[in-house]
Every structure is written in C-alpha cells, then in structure tokens.
C-alpha cells in the first residue's frame, strides 16, 4: 500500500547557533507555569506534558549505531521513538483499511 503522506524531520546541516555545552545546561533556570522550579520538577512537568516515560530497554548494537549515525549530534533516542511511532501508526492504518475492505466485500 502506498503511503499518502510522510512527516519527515528536517536535518539541519548549516547552523549558526553556538554549540551548547553541559555547562550551559548547568546554568539553566527552570520554570514551570512561569514560576521558578527545580530541575527535577521541570523534568517531571515536561514528561507529564508530552506523555513520556523513562524506561530501560536493551537494543542490538547495530540498531543503536544506525540511529546514532542518522542523528548526528541530535538525539538518536528521539529518532528511535519517531520510527516506532510511525510503525505503530502505519500498522493501524493498514489494519483499518483491511477491515473496511472485508466489510465491503461481505456486503457486495
């Protein structure tokens, strides 16, 4: 089945922004709802908002290497997450189309 739309994450190759270092993040001031917050409170609020959950998972080294190579300096875990989401969404679409086709064939 041909996919009709694809969301692609753009790859930035020429970026004038300075590289951020761990020291930059250590100096960060966190806010939740416009009010000062600790790093832990901010992380909790972000995870709650985007529905993310921290887990431990074992992946084959070639899988990790592949996504790290694709990601460059971006987060390879985000790419893995996006890939899994697309697989899940396309699987549901395919299952829905198969169901509709079966229903239509039964009626016809």
Residue 27, classed as helix, strand or coil, is coil
Percentage helix, strand, coil for the chain under 3-state DSSP, each rounded to 5: 55, 5, 40
47 and 82 in a single domain? The answer is no
Look at residue 76 and tell me if it is in a domain: yes
In the predicted model, what is the mean pLDDT of residues 68-77? 85
105 or 48, which is more confident?
Answer: 105
Residue 1, pLDDT score: 47
- pLDDT tens-digit readout, 3-32: 555 656 566 566 677 887 888 878 888 888
Q: Measure the CA–CA gap between 63 and 84, rounded to whole angstroms.
A: 13
Q: Do 39 and 30 form a contact (C-beta atoms < 8 A)?
A: yes
pLDDT confidence of 78, banded at 50, 70, 90? confident
d(C-alpha 36, C-alpha 33), whole Å: 8
Asked if residue 66 is part of any domain, the answer here is yes
Structure confidence at residue 44 as a pLDDT band (50, 70, 90): confident
36 Cβ neighbours under 8 A, 6+ residues apart: 29, 30
Query: Are 63 and 40 members of one domain?
Result: no
Both 81 and 100 in one domain: the answer is yes
47 shares its domain with 68: no
* Distance in angstroms (rounded) separating the CA atoms of residues 98 and 54: 34
What is the C-alpha separation between 75 and 47, in angstroms, rounded? 16
Are 49 and 65 contained in the same domain? no
């Amino acid at each position: 089945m041909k996919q009709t739309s694809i969301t692609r994450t753009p790859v930035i190759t020429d970026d004038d922004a300075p590289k951020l270092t761990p020291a930059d993040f250590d100096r960060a001031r966190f806010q939740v709802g416009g009010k000062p917050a600790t790093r832990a409170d901010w992380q909790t609020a972000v995870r709650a908002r985007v529905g993310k959950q921290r887990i431990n998972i074992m992946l084959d080294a070639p899988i990790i290497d592949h996504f790290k190579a694709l990601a460059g300096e971006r987060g390879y875990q985000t790419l893995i997450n996006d890939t899994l989401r697309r697989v899940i969404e396309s699987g549901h679409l395919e299952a829905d189309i198969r169901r509709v086709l079966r229903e239509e064939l039964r009626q016809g």
